[in-house]
Amino acid sequence: MQLPNYFQDPNILHVNTLPHHAYFIPHQSLETTEAREHSAYFTLLNGDWDFNYYESYHQLPQDFLTMAFEHKIPVPSNWQNHGFDRHHYTNINYPFPFDPPFVPHQNPCGVYHRAFTAQPNTAKRYLLNFEGVDSCLFVYLNKQFVGYSQISHNTSEFDVTEYLQQGTNHLTVVVLKWCDGSYLEDQDKFRMSGIFRDVYLLERPENYLQDFFIRYELDEHFSQAELRLETQFIGQKQPLDIQLFAPNGALVLQQQAVDFCEKITNIQLWNAELPQLYTLVLRYADEVIVQKIGFRKAEVKEGIFYFNGQPIKFRGVNRHDSDPKTGYTISYAQALKDLQLMKQHNINAIRTAHYPNAPWFSELCDQYGFYLIGEADVEAHGASMLTVKTPEPSIFLNHENDPETARIRQETIDNFCYFARDPAFKKAILDRQQANVERDKNRTSIIIWSLGNESGYGENFEAAAEWIKSRDPSRLVHYESSIYQHTQHQNDLSNLDFYSEMYGSTEDIDRYCEEPKAKPFILCEYTHAMGNSNGDAEDYWQAFQRHRQSCGGFVWEWCDHAPYLPNGKFGYGGDFGDTPNDGNFCMDGLVSPDRIPHSNLLELKNVNRPVRASYQNGELRLHNYLDFTDLADFVTVHYEFVQNGVVTSGGKCQIDCKPQQSAVLNLPMPENNGEHWLLNLRYTQNHASALLAKHHELGFDQILLYPQNHFKKQPLVKEATHFDVNETALTVEIKNGDYRYLFDKQKGIFSHIEKNEVAQIEQPLDFVIWRAPTDNDRLIRETWQNAGYDKAYSRAYETAVNVTDQAVEITVKSAILAVARGRILTLDLRYQIWANGQISLHIQGQRAGYLPFLPRFGLRFYLPKQQISMAEPLEYFGYGEAESYIDKHHLAKLGIYHTTAKTNHTDYVKPQENGSHFGCEYLKVNGLYISADKAFSFNLSPYTAEELTTKKHHYELEEAASTILCVDYKMSGIGSNSCGPNLKDEYRLNEERIEITFYLNFN
């Protein structure tokens, strides 16, 4: 038996499937409706199925309906996670030739078989449901062809009543890796295959309720609603017994009707902060159907997005279904863990990138309170690669007038719009919109429909938007790719409600919002969370707050994508022999593949805190950034006063402050006694909620009360002593009591320091400008390397030694150089070695202005490993304890912290710069005390920057013989340039003149 060629015919999307309809599960009684598995009418067919795998569907045996099976595979799952085929990660490029609607002959094929027992009732109908199969499926029951379907991330339902038999039944499903629908499923993810969501059988009456649509309109005061129910039956329509219960369980409405329209008063509104849900109960024949309803209204007025009458901001993320072990298969428990982590980190919105999640996922979002953009299963990004070389990421949003760049950009856009304008794929694009809307139309949390992702724009999407607006005018419609226009098409944007961009800069937000527009600005993807990232989260937050027309955005993305390798480590593109691949571009999440929060998520959490404090002219004011909740009903404020790093007093309180308003908080402020005073404010939830415990920390603020006061550090001690100085052509040796110093006159740096005949450094000090490139440095990395930054070294030109009774002074004229390059930095150095062993180093540097900004500038120490242990950790005052940078320190507080090299290291899957600490006043470890005349950064690591630069995976790293301590005048910021705007000037080490004095005390 040969498979029909449906999978290469865009006119044949489904054969014998039932129409798309709302998701619901019928039950036998109200008591069983808490879980679908409790329904007597629901038979779950998950479990171990028989399985055979073939490299090509041409190898499928003629007798595949009766053949023996060699393997077992769990359903649901992806076959790549069970030893078949290989994992493949590609972002934009299709994993097969671009030849629509055709896919390769070498098209892998999986055959599934499951025997199950049934006792069908002749007065019933039986519906077989597949909630997710990638990419298409042929269904056979008891050796008879049932039907065909393609749409990976939505439900395919078949009426199998006529095929079902008493006793044992044999269900066979043939799944192909690719079909013509794969051209519309080019999402940025590992490409996996198989039956990856639940399979089940539903028993329904002969005449049954097939579909219903709950509609309502709120009045202008949001206090009452006109509630309507529209129904669709198989067979003759019959009246339903209808009940509506309020969130507290009180009966609101009871009647019999087929369709109805009733006014509901004293409405309790649903929002993400307080997700109030009503319960609609429908009874028909012997079925009970329960649907939760939340009353809410999303609308755009005068270019501003309103929800329940309030202008709100999305603090959102893009979320894929992804797990290192189960792939696309996500359980309730896994999804709930994601939602709890999001709540814990102040996320209020999710874009289902870039396809519908399992049908119960949005039920969880209804229940726990998240705003959803429900996105259709459409992405055709690879079409943009047809006739031009891979463009730079900025090409889509460049604002330059260079004619050649403009030509390439437009050619890329015209390719990008291929499927958006191809009549052959109009049916498929519409079908995917209809599947998305019809399945989830009764979900409260979905307030916006999205037509898909990165597929260009044209007639097909215009038709899709028009259909959605006619079918569901209560929701708004989004589609970012509408900003791209084909040369031969004039875009019709009349059915779209947002102006949407990806990775636009804060300047882009300002530019759009500086004059009133008809549509609000939304960043459907921003602040790309790849590796050590999200350095611009605070700047984006500030830009969102500056403009009422900006309604926030959705961080890309929630989790890293990485299946396990045989060694138990995470793998990324190329680790599985997959080509083409996009390397570690899949490692771009706020959490690790196994859901360990990165520092990126901690930064985002505090940037999105619901309360912020300001202190001006002696007045402390709190602003409530909640949209619907008074602070007194939600937040307890904890405060403490900190003098020179030591807490002196504190307390807690609550404050009345209405949503989106501010109020003065009166606290007993310490008098200005010339000391360094900090006020720490910590905000906790004052009651338990569904996903958050009582006392959960929501965020914090830290206020420097008297900015003119300096932190108290060790003073410089000057006293008379005797120095033994021995100078040669190459070195200067200095002895003073217990100390011995050896200075390298060729490099202008100390090569050896010892105390009591014990070496304090194991290799010569050196000046460093290189950092292991972060993922956000991937575009500037080559520029840095071309400038020689990764091979830079220091040399001295002139050295002068002057000895007094208090100090030995060494002045040096030197430079930072690289082979085949000019001077990077010209340095004037003045070392002073004092009687008590303290060294002061005054640095004046001049950076070559024609060179790119520096990654960093500072000193590198090679410390004996035994000096730093859990028993003797390094102590510092600075932003901690998480890693922190000039643009990424809102996750951290100024304070006194302790760390070791291993605990300070952040183990990114792809090694890169990590573990730095910004804003430091001092550090000390085992007798070494370092401070400066201005705040500095430092990094303590088991690894050199060179080691972190060259290794592709964290498990390949080899520790250095010494502990590496870098003390930096400045470290350039982190940003999000892996897929976003360039690092802002204010966060670059871009100044041409550098000046700082470091104090090193080995006593």
The residues annotated with a catalytic role in the active site are: 454, 525
Contact predicate 128/160, CB 8 Å: yes
| Cα gap 144→166, rounded to integer Å | 15
Q: Which residues contact 579 (CB under 8 A, 6 or more apart)?
A: none
| Cα gap 679→651, rounded to integer Å | 12
Contact predicate 239/209, CB 8 Å: no
Contact predicate 448/477, CB 8 Å: yes
| Cα gap 781→349, rounded to integer Å | 34
CA 292 to chain centre: 29
| Cα gap 13→9, rounded to integer Å | 8
Per DSSP, the three-state class of 570 is strand
Contact predicate 369/272, CB 8 Å: yes
Of 475, 445, 441, 366, give the one whose Cα is nearest residue 21.
441
| Cα gap 586→565, rounded to integer Å | 15
Q: How many CB atoms lie within 10 A of CB 955?
A: 14
Which tokens go with 921? Answer: 């006043």
Which tokens go with 716? Answer: 């410089």
Classify residue 254 by burial, with Cβ atoms within 10 Å: 0-12, 13-18, 19+: exposed
Question: What does the CA dihedral 49, 52, 55, 59 come to, rounded to 10 degrees?
Answer: -130
Phi, psi of 751 (to 5 degrees): -100, -15
Which tokens go with 920? Answer: 């430091």
**What single letter denotes the amino acid at residue 70?**
E
DSSP annotation of 605: H
Of 426, 428, 385, give the one whose Cα is nearest residue 408.
385
| Cα gap 278→270, rounded to integer Å | 9
CA angle 814, 715, 760 (to 5 degrees): 55
| Cα gap 761→666, rounded to integer Å | 51
Cis, peptide link before residue 986, omega less than 30° from 0: no
Which tokens go with 945? Answer: 């920057």
| Cα gap 947→773, rounded to integer Å | 11
| Cα gap 277→438, rounded to integer Å | 21
Per DSSP, the three-state class of 414 is helix
User: Using a CB cutoff of 8 Å and minimum separation of 24, what contacts does 12-16 make?
Assistant: 12/148, 13/149, 13/150, 13/151, 13/181, 13/427, 13/428, 13/431, 14/147, 14/148, 14/149, 14/150, 14/156, 14/431, 15/147, 15/148, 15/149, 16/146, 16/147, 16/148, 16/158, 16/159
Which tokens go with 879? Answer: 């932003």
| Cα gap 458→486, rounded to integer Å | 7
| Cα gap 102→482, rounded to integer Å | 27
Q: Which residues contact 426 (CB under 8 A, 6 or more apart)?
A: 459, 460, 463
Q: Which residues contact 729 (CB under 8 A, 6 or more apart)?
A: 745
